[in-house]
Amino acid sequence: MPLQIVHHPGYDAGFAVNHRFPMSKYPLLMEHLRIRGLAAPQALSKPEPAPAAWLKLAHAADYVDQVIACAVPERIEREIGFPVGPRVSLRAQLATAGTVLAARLALRHGIACNAAGGSHHARRAQGAGFCTFNDVAVASLALLAEGGVENVLIVDLDVHQGDGTADILKDEPRAFTFSMHGERNYPARKIASDLDVALPDGTGDDAYLERLAAILPDLSGQRHWDIVFYNAGVDVHAEDRLGRLALTDGGLRAREDMVIGHFRNRGVPLCGVIGGGYSTDVPILAARHAMLFEVAAGYA
Ligand SMILES: [Zn+2]
């Protein structure tokens, strides 16, 4: 079966090419997947913007209203890293709905990926760190609220700690948050996940994969998980501009295979989101993000 992929052209908010946030990675990722025959038209889904009611499950109502009205206070826009104009606002609503849709497809097909998402620094009260809405937290709470799932696991392997997800889900016992990240990286003030593993600068493939291999059985053994959200941030790569770890292409691919294989071999539905990745060479960056889809396709 082809891999279920969720995408929308509006994921690209059209930033200038020299912007610190490499917005053009979204269309380039889809182009990369199309060229490799991974974006089967019959398995491509397009989200509608997320209804405010979903967003308010995870975020303060006044912040949601501010984003939708493009009236986010400047102080918060500075923390996010860009102004929230109409395209950024729409993009945040689309990308969040994309993860909800991918999660539903994962429940039906076993595995699905959103070609965006992983905005894990957005906290309940506001966005931060290039993240406007926290798509994985919204999707977790939306699925729990509609009764489609009872236990949700979040495996966040972006190089940055998943502070926003931890903040939003800290009082939700049905969701378990796991973050493995670079110890000395953003955010300076981390918010404790249910399980955090902080790695030293320069951690390479072997130490990284060994650590992960030891943790995955503990995670899957805890409970019967109805779904796992996997944030496959590629900023762990040695050539990432913001990461401080030292994974190679081979290490990254082995990571995707380890995580996806672990949960799929146990029958746990998996929803993949792309997470962070920062490089001035955006085609190479898009190829790095494509590894999630290439590996996931082998389990579809
Ligand atoms: Zn990151």
What average pLDDT score do residues 108-133 get? 98
**Which residues, other chains included, contact 91 with Cβ-Cβ below 8 Å and sequence gap of 6+?**
10, 11, 12, 13, 132
Q: Enter the tokens of residue 283.
A: 């085609």
**Span 26-57, pLDDT tens digits:** 999 999 999 999 999 999 999 999 999 999 99
Q: 111 falls in which pLDDT band (50, 70, 90)?
A: very high
C-alpha 159 to ligand 1 mean position (Å): 5
- Is residue 70 a contact partner of residue 31, using CB atoms and an 8 Å limit? no
C-alpha 154 to ligand 1 mean position (Å): 15
pLDDT at 257 exceeding the cut of 90: yes
pLDDT for the residue numbered 273: 99
- Is residue 157 a contact partner of residue 231, using CB atoms and an 8 Å limit? yes
Share of the chain above pLDDT 90, in %: 98
Q: Enter the tokens of residue 174.
A: 């049905």
pLDDT for the residue numbered 17: 84
C-alpha 147 to ligand 1 mean position (Å): 30
Q: 18 falls in which pLDDT band (50, 70, 90)?
A: confident
C-alpha 33 to ligand 1 mean position (Å): 22
C-alpha 79 to ligand 1 mean position (Å): 15
